[in-house]
Structure 1
Amino acid sequence: MTEPILTLSGVHTHIGQYHILQGVDLVVPRGGLAVLLGRNGAGKTTTLRTIMGLWKASRGTITFDGRDITRLSTPDIARAGIAYVPESMAVFSELTVRENLYLAARNGPLDAARVDWICGFFPALKKFWNYPAGNLSGGQKQMVAIARAIVEPKKLLLVDEPTKGLAPAIVQSLMAAFRDLKDTSTTILLVEQNFNFVRTLGDSVSVMDDGRVVHAGLMHDLAHDDALQQRLLGLSLDSHQ
């Protein structure tokens, strides 16, 4: 394991009367791709939203790149170098694909070379460049959402279930994009249920249950230990295919 880029220490999150995160300890190594697994309702999405400041931690500390970001606003967290792709595939529906990416380029005009690099994985973006994003299919909207997050280099990319409901061909494009991102300075924290996807890409893995991290280690070790999969998730990870 390399030096962590992100550390959550004893993080609790309350949403109204509900105590969702109950002392999360999570370490994301710098570089590569970390996977967050767990049953539905375990707290995975809440963890990502708490890191991003969309929901505030009621207790505990979140440290990013050596800096305490626990109390920062979401815009300040984004400026620190974290991008978030929610499961909802959030895009500006009435804006074109080009305009969606333009708004995400906080530091100036779109970098043409980087746009070409992104469109190499998602050719549909160029095809629908001047179409309203709201008219696209679910898979195409997911492409736009991911493209928005990486249109500028980021230190950390948080991605919530990117393959959910996508056609196999689009999933393959996502795999290629994440592989290339792993070779850059971007670290990825991925919540995902498609085990074939994470088994190929994941370097480290953490498993959540009832608002806590109950296991952390190498993806290779979990992928080759059926008994551990059964104990942590209640079923073999291969059944997530």
Structure 2
Amino acid sequence: MSDILLSLSGVHTHIGPYHILQGVDLLVPEGGVTVLLGRNGAGKTTTLRTIMGLWTASRGDIRFEDQVITKFATPEISRRGIAFVPEDMGIFTDLTVSENMMLAASNGPIDEKRLSWITDLFPPIGTFWKSSAGTLSGGQKQMLSVARAIIEPRRLILIDEPTKGLAPAIIKSMTDALKELKETDTTILLVEQNFAMASSIGDTVAVMDDGRIIHAGNMQELVEDTALQEKLMGLTLEVHQ
């Protein structure tokens, strides 16, 4: 088994009067893709935002490598090599694509070799380099959002619903790019509703319901067990191809 890069132990998160995460235990092995599945409202996005320090855990521990980061501020978490691609993409629509990318390169000028690799992954980044980000299509904005997160090398990327609302051709491009990204030293924690896409890229999987992890294991084992899919999520891979 790979070393564990990120772990959550008994994590609770309250948002106002609402108790969203209710004792989340999650292990993210280094060097692969862990997929977080579950119905809407199960707590997946709250889990990512809590890891990133955007919401503060009220109880429990979040450990990154050998450091407990539960109470760290978001900028400190980012400096440790964790990036977040939110569901709403988080790009600056009034700025150009190049300006969005330059803002994300917090350690100085953009590395041209890395930028070339990114534009190979996401060709629209190069095509629309001088265009306003607000004029991009939904799929192109999602590519820009991921590209911003990887403009500098990251140990861990948290990605929330990268294929939501995208056309099948764009989903394939996004999937291919994430498959290439996982071949680098980057670990990915991915929230995704598209089970076919998730199963094609995921190495390990965790399923959430009502603010807790109700299943964790190998993705291939879940793919091969349609009864377990139905039990956990009310779906089977066959009907979601």
**TM-score of the aligned structures, taking structure 1 as reference length:** 0.98
1:88 is matched with 88
Mapped to 2, the partners of 1:13 and 1:163 lie a distance apart of 26
Measured on the aligned residues, the alpha-carbon RMSD in Å equals: 1.0
In structure 2, the partner of 1:30 is 30
The CA distance in 2 between the partners of 1:239 and 1:72, in whole Å, is 42
How many matched pairs?
A: 241
In structure 1, the residue matched to 2:98 is 98
Aligned equivalent of 2:225:
225
> 2:151, 2:113 → 1: CA distance?
10
SS at match of 2:22: strand
1:1-241 equivalences under 5 Å are 1-241=1-241
**Structure 1 CA distance for aligned equivalents of residues 162 and 5 of structure 2:** 22
Give the Å deviation of 1:12.
0.1
Inter-partner Cα distance in structure 1 for 2:205 and 2:161: 15
Give TM-score, length-normalised by structure 2: 0.98
Deviations 1:100-137 (A, max 9, x none): 00000011101111111111121111111111111111
> More displaced, 11-20 or 135-144?
135-144
Summarize deviations over 1:126-172 as a string: whole Å, max 9, x none: 11111111111111111110000000010000000101111222222
Determine the C-alpha separation between the residues in 2 that align with 1:72 and 1:158: 16
- 2:17 and 2:123 mapped to 1: Cα distance? 45
Q: Offset at 1:240?
A: 4.0
How far off is 1:238 after superposition?
3.7
1:92 counterpart SS class: coil
Distance 1:240 1:56, change over 3 A: farther
Identity %, equivalent residues: 63
Equivalent pair of 1:207/1:214 in contact (CA under 8 Å): yes
